[in-house]
Amino acid sequence: MKITTFNPQIVTNNPEPVIELFEALGFEKRHTKEGIGIGEMKANDCRLKDVNGFHVDISRASLPLPRDGVVIRMNVDDFDEAYKILESHGFKNDFGDVGETGSSKSAVMGSPSGFKIVLIQHIK
């Protein structure tokens, strides 16, 4: 299994000020994707990149959040293998389901200590 991207992802109900902050820090919008997620939790994602190649994703959550959250986005070339590795280290699928859009598979995996990894495989 190969990790293809690894970066922070901010989940919020109000993405505009967060996007503006990162643009002020030198990040530029790369692309957006709407309605991705699992079950009732859908998000509109905006991917930003700076001149050094760093990425940050800002996601507008479809469900009300008490506050913004930060997760780790990890894209891999073998979703099933990565999922098993995370499970073997005590991670649980927060939504109990895998989201599939036709172009990607994803799951929000929660660690025993509380941090989360959004596991994604883009299907080519």
Rounded CA separation 124/100 (Å): 13
Helix (H, G, I), strand (E, B) or coil at 49: strand
The pLDDT score that the predictor gives to residue 117 is 97
State in Å, rounded, how far the first CA of the chain is from the last one. Answer: 16
The pLDDT score that the predictor gives to residue 17 is 96
Rounded CA separation 62/37 (Å): 9
Rounded CA separation 51/35 (Å): 28
The pLDDT score that the predictor gives to residue 95 is 85
The pLDDT score that the predictor gives to residue 49 is 97
10-residue mean pLDDT profile of the chain (124 residues): values are: 96 94 96 60 79 94 89 96 98 89 89 96 87
